[in-house]
């Protein structure tokens, strides 16, 4: 425990040494005891003029003059009754508040000066600043919390709006997809769309084929597996790829039966036309 911690509770005034340590003796008290009027003669110059305040309230000095700097009778009282906690006067608090606004930390010199100006013990001034800093911190935390709360609310509103927009766009995609499917069913294209698909075959070399090739080959009535260069696995892969609506868009004329067998085509390949991930995520 540091040497400063010699203050004891108010209720144990029966011991003189304790009393002297706890309430009467401060390192700076000699300065202070030179007179509480110091703030009238020389104090108050440092930051604020406290003279008018003092004139307006003659009871200002009671804290020290009458109760802490009293005569022997007053001192005797300390041995027989517990010291009461005194609130600072309005003027004292105002003065301290002004000082706090200027600088919320208290250097030793300023503490002494303030104590002299206000007729308080330096220790009281220090305690007041300490408590005042604590209150300021609490207020600041409340402000910060409110600011964060407002920020969060704003972000959440933005997020909710984006969700709504996303749902709306999803709906639009579904409607357009349905529309397209219906249109394709009712009005099959007269001219094959010139879709070029570029893909790699099993050997890794690029294969280029046009849709009309695929359609014509897929429409062939007979399929001779012997003449086909499509393996069973490749055929399965291709069949699977044709099951997807995307495939029906690329191969609009294919009927269900048509892809029961793999088409014999010069454009034989073993890849999936569509990207399953894309479609699954799109829906």
Partner DNA sequence: TTGTGTTTTATTGCCTCC
Partner DNA sequence: GGAGGCAATAAAACACAA
**Which residue ranges make up the site for DNA (CB under 7 A)?**
1-5, 7-11, 22-23, 27, 82, 84-88, 93, 105-106, 108, 123-124, 126-128, 130-131, 133-135, 137
**11 touches 78 (CB < 8 A):** no
Contact, 234 vs 262, CB < 8 A? yes
In the bound state with DNA, the residue whose beta carbon lies nearer, of 64 and 269, is 64
Query: Residue 210 has which token pair?
Result: 């046009």
Instruction: Give the angle subtended at the CA of 162 by the CAs of 160 and 164, to the nearest 5°.
Output: 70
Residue 142 host element (H or E) = helix 122-186
The distance of closest approach from Cβ of residue 91 to DNA in the complex, given in angstroms and rounded to an integer, is: 11
Cβ atoms of 23 and 63 within 8 Å: the answer is no
Smallest gap from residue 85 Cβ to DNA (A): 4
Which residue's CB is nearer to DNA, number 91 or number 184? 91
Query: Which of residues 82 and 225 has its CB atom nearest to DNA in the complex?
Result: 82
Q: How far is residue 229's CA from residue 208's CA, in Å, rounded to a whole number?
A: 16
Residue nearer to DNA on the CB measure, 136 or 278: 136
CB of residue 156 to DNA, shortest distance in Å: 30
CB of 162 to DNA, least distance (A): 39
**Among residues 7, 173, 31, 179, which one has the least CA distance to residue 83?**
7
């Amino acid at each position: 425990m540091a040497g400063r911690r010699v203050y004891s509770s108010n209720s144990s005034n029966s011991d003189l040494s304790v009393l002297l340590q706890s309430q009467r003796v401060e390192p700076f008290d000699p300065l202070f005891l030179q007179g509480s009027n110091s703030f009238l003669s020389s104090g108050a110059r440092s930051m604020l003029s406290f003279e008018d305040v003092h004139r307006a309230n003659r009871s200002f000095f009671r804290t020290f003059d009458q109760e802490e700097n009293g005569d022997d009778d007053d001192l005797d009282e300390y041995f027989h009754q517990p010291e009461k906690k005194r609130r600072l006067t309005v003027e004292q608090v105002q003065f301290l508040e002004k000082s706090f606004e200027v600088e919320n930390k208290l250097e030793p010199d300023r503490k002494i000066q303030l104590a002299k100006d206000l007729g308080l013990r330096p220790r009281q001034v220090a305690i007041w600043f300490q408590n005042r800093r604590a209150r300021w911190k609490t207020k600041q935390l409340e402000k910060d919390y409110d600011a964060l709360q407002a920020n969060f609310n704003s972000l959440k509103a933005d997020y909710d709006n984006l969700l709504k927009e996303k749902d709306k766009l999803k709906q639009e995609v579904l409607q357009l997809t349905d529309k397209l499917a219906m249109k394709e069913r009712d009005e099959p294209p007269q001219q094959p769309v010139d879709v070029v698909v570029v893909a790699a075959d099993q050997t890794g070399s690029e294969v280029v084929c046009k849709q009309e090739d695929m359609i014509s080959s897929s429409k062939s009535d007979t399929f001779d597996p012997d003449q086909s260069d499509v393996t069973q696995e490749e055929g399965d892969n291709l069949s699977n790829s044709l099951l997807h609506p995307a495939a029906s868009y690329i191969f609009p004329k294919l009927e269900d039966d048509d892809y029961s067998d793999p088409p014999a085509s010069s454009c034989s390949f073993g890849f999936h036309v569509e990207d399953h991930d894309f479609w699954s995520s799109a829906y």
